[in-house]
Amino acid sequence: MSGVPGNMFPKVDNFWNWLRLDKIIHIFLYGVFFSLLLKSTAKQLNTAVLGIMHILILLTVGIIFAGLTEILQAIMFINRDGSLYDFIANVIGCLAGLTIYLVISKKKHIK
Protein backbone atom coordinates (compact mmCIF):
# COMPACT_ATOMS: atom_id res chain seq x y z
CA MET A 1 0.00 0.00 0.00
CA SER A 2 2.96 2.31 0.53
CA GLY A 3 3.66 2.36 -3.20
CA VAL A 4 0.13 3.10 -4.41
CA PRO A 5 -0.06 6.52 -6.12
CA GLY A 6 -1.06 9.05 -3.51
CA ASN A 7 -2.35 12.03 -5.46
CA MET A 8 -5.72 11.73 -3.69
CA PHE A 9 -4.24 12.32 -0.21
CA PRO A 10 -4.33 15.83 1.26
CA LYS A 11 -1.05 17.70 1.66
CA VAL A 12 0.18 18.52 5.17
CA ASP A 13 1.26 22.16 5.36
CA ASN A 14 2.62 22.38 8.90
CA PHE A 15 3.38 20.37 12.02
CA TRP A 16 0.15 21.20 13.87
CA ASN A 17 -2.01 19.85 11.06
CA TRP A 18 -0.17 16.56 10.73
CA LEU A 19 -2.64 14.39 12.68
CA ARG A 20 -5.28 13.77 10.06
CA LEU A 21 -6.90 10.66 8.68
CA ASP A 22 -3.78 9.93 6.61
CA LYS A 23 -1.57 9.83 9.71
CA ILE A 24 -4.10 7.78 11.67
CA ILE A 25 -4.02 5.24 8.83
CA HIS A 26 -0.20 5.18 9.02
CA ILE A 27 -0.34 4.59 12.78
CA PHE A 28 -2.94 1.84 12.39
CA LEU A 29 -1.14 0.02 9.56
CA TYR A 30 2.25 0.09 11.27
CA GLY A 31 0.66 -0.89 14.58
CA VAL A 32 -0.84 -3.98 12.97
CA PHE A 33 2.39 -4.68 11.04
CA PHE A 34 4.56 -4.45 14.14
CA SER A 35 2.31 -6.42 16.49
CA LEU A 36 2.11 -9.21 13.89
CA LEU A 37 5.90 -9.09 13.46
CA LEU A 38 6.35 -9.51 17.21
CA LYS A 39 3.74 -12.27 17.46
CA SER A 40 5.19 -14.24 14.56
CA THR A 41 8.72 -13.93 15.94
CA ALA A 42 7.58 -15.15 19.36
CA LYS A 43 5.81 -18.07 17.72
CA GLN A 44 8.93 -18.88 15.68
CA LEU A 45 11.03 -18.83 18.86
CA ASN A 46 8.36 -20.86 20.67
CA THR A 47 8.08 -18.45 23.58
CA ALA A 48 5.16 -16.72 25.27
CA VAL A 49 6.92 -13.35 25.55
CA LEU A 50 9.90 -12.02 23.61
CA GLY A 51 12.97 -10.85 25.48
CA ILE A 52 14.09 -7.23 25.48
CA MET A 53 16.89 -7.89 22.97
CA HIS A 54 14.49 -9.41 20.43
CA ILE A 55 12.09 -6.51 20.92
CA LEU A 56 14.84 -3.93 20.41
CA ILE A 57 16.08 -5.68 17.27
CA LEU A 58 12.55 -5.86 15.84
CA LEU A 59 11.87 -2.24 16.79
CA THR A 60 15.02 -1.25 14.92
CA VAL A 61 13.85 -3.27 11.90
CA GLY A 62 10.40 -1.62 12.06
CA ILE A 63 11.88 1.89 12.25
CA ILE A 64 14.30 1.19 9.39
CA PHE A 65 11.42 -0.21 7.31
CA ALA A 66 9.36 2.91 8.07
CA GLY A 67 12.23 5.15 7.02
CA LEU A 68 12.99 3.20 3.84
CA THR A 69 9.33 3.32 2.89
CA GLU A 70 9.34 7.11 3.11
CA ILE A 71 12.63 7.35 1.19
CA LEU A 72 11.24 5.11 -1.57
CA GLN A 73 8.10 7.22 -1.71
CA ALA A 74 10.27 10.31 -2.17
CA ILE A 75 12.49 8.93 -4.94
CA MET A 76 10.77 6.01 -6.63
CA PHE A 77 7.01 5.64 -6.26
CA ILE A 78 4.77 7.56 -8.67
CA ASN A 79 2.76 10.44 -7.21
CA ARG A 80 4.07 9.76 -3.70
CA ASP A 81 6.07 12.07 -1.47
CA GLY A 82 8.27 11.03 1.40
CA SER A 83 7.31 12.82 4.57
CA LEU A 84 8.94 13.24 7.96
CA TYR A 85 5.45 13.38 9.47
CA ASP A 86 4.53 10.07 7.85
CA PHE A 87 7.75 8.58 9.22
CA ILE A 88 6.87 9.86 12.71
CA ALA A 89 3.37 8.36 12.38
CA ASN A 90 4.91 5.05 11.24
CA VAL A 91 7.21 4.96 14.28
CA ILE A 92 4.28 5.82 16.58
CA GLY A 93 2.42 2.92 14.95
CA CYS A 94 5.35 0.57 15.70
CA LEU A 95 5.30 1.70 19.33
CA ALA A 96 1.52 1.23 19.47
CA GLY A 97 1.94 -2.28 18.04
CA LEU A 98 4.59 -3.00 20.67
CA THR A 99 2.25 -1.81 23.41
CA ILE A 100 -0.60 -3.95 22.09
CA TYR A 101 1.68 -6.98 21.85
CA LEU A 102 2.99 -6.49 25.41
CA VAL A 103 -0.50 -6.05 26.87
CA ILE A 104 -1.88 -9.12 25.08
CA SER A 105 1.15 -11.32 25.78
CA LYS A 106 1.16 -10.27 29.44
CA LYS A 107 -2.50 -11.29 29.79
CA LYS A 108 -1.74 -14.65 28.18
CA HIS A 109 1.35 -15.11 30.34
CA ILE A 110 -0.63 -14.46 33.55
CA LYS A 111 -3.26 -17.12 32.78
Note whether residue 49 is domain-resident: yes
For residues 55 and 4, give the distance between their C-alpha atoms in angstroms, rounded to a whole number. 30
Whole-model pTM: value is 0.80
Q: Is residue 28 part of a domain?
A: yes
Task: Give ∠ CA 109-104-43 in degrees, rounded to 5.
Answer: 70
Q: Residue 97 domain-assigned?
A: yes
Q: What range defines the domain where residue 59 resides?
A: 20-110
In a domain, 55, yes or no: yes
- pLDDT score recorded for residue 22: 80
Instruction: Give tens-digit pLDDT for 37-54.
Output: 999 999 999 987 789 999
By the 10 Å C-beta count (0-12 exposed, 13-18 middle, 19+ buried), 97 is classed as buried
Query: Are the C-beta atoms of residues 49 and 41 closer than 8 Å to each other?
Result: no
**For the chain, what is the mean pLDDT?**
84
Q: Is 33 exposed, middle or buried (0-12, 13-18, 19+ CB in 10 A)?
A: middle
Q: What is the number of domains present in the chain?
A: 1
